[in-house]
Amino acid sequence: MNDQIAAIILGAGKGTRMKSDLPKVMMPLGGKPMIRHPIDTLEEMGVKKIVVVTAPDGDMVRKEVAPHQSCIQEKQLGTGHAVLAAKDLMKGFEGQILVIFGDNPIFTKETYQTAANKVKEGYAVVVLGFRPEDPARYGRLVMKNGELQKIVEFKDATEEEKAIDLCNSGCMCFDGKTMFDILEAIGNENAAGEYYLTDAIAIARSKGLKCTVVECSPEEVAGANTLEELALLESYLKKRKGK
């Protein structure tokens, strides 16, 4: 049993681009709903405290993830807002808290554990980063002396920052002792009026806390927003299982 690690899985997305009425995380992958993959990985690690954030109409997701707890993000106001929906269920937990996306389902337990270990070393926020063949429009991770300075969205990046090939997967691991203080300080002064999880880095650093990055393979980071991407995930899973 692993009482030191907990996880919040964001699973409120709709399957619109999948041309399906199913919630995105309920789309089949490797013979089971996509959401089962990260849950199975966490269970293999012995993680007991898993909270899944769902949409108000996410009954199917809540039923699938039981007996693990779930909560509802009443309005979709960004990733930072989604994680805050789990605050009450995480009350009093002071270990390492993974924040992962239900549609990034094939991270390995080794990667999750490495991120948690980094938090134990004294980092308040650890971002899972990767180096894709084509960094394209991914957010860039600006590092200095082993510490993550900031996450820069592609559209806001200078030419120098665009040349960085270390990119943001979106997934993070937090120190449970400071996590919700950081998240509650995130504002929504942006064009979309949303609360972005990526702002956690700037806020943590403004509080004098340290942030860093754990690198993983581009394959692990693969997500599924379309049927084509879902098919690619299937191929990665088969390759991993040696089929």
> Which residues have a catalytic role annotated?
17
Q: Which helix (H) or strand (E) holds 39?
A: helix 36-44
Whether the CB-CB separation of 202 and 80 falls below 8 Å is answered with no
Q: Can you tell me the distance from the alpha carbon of 234 to that of 47, in angstroms, rounded to the nearest whole number?
A: 25
> At 168, which helix (H) or strand (E)?
strand 167-175
For residues 66 and 49, the answer to whether their CB atoms sit within 8 Å is no
* Distance in angstroms (rounded) separating the CA atoms of residues 76 and 55: 8
Report d(CA 243, CA 226) in Å as an integer.
23
| Most distant pair of Cα atoms in the chain: their distance | 48
**Nearest alpha carbon to residue 196 among 111, 79, 57:** 79
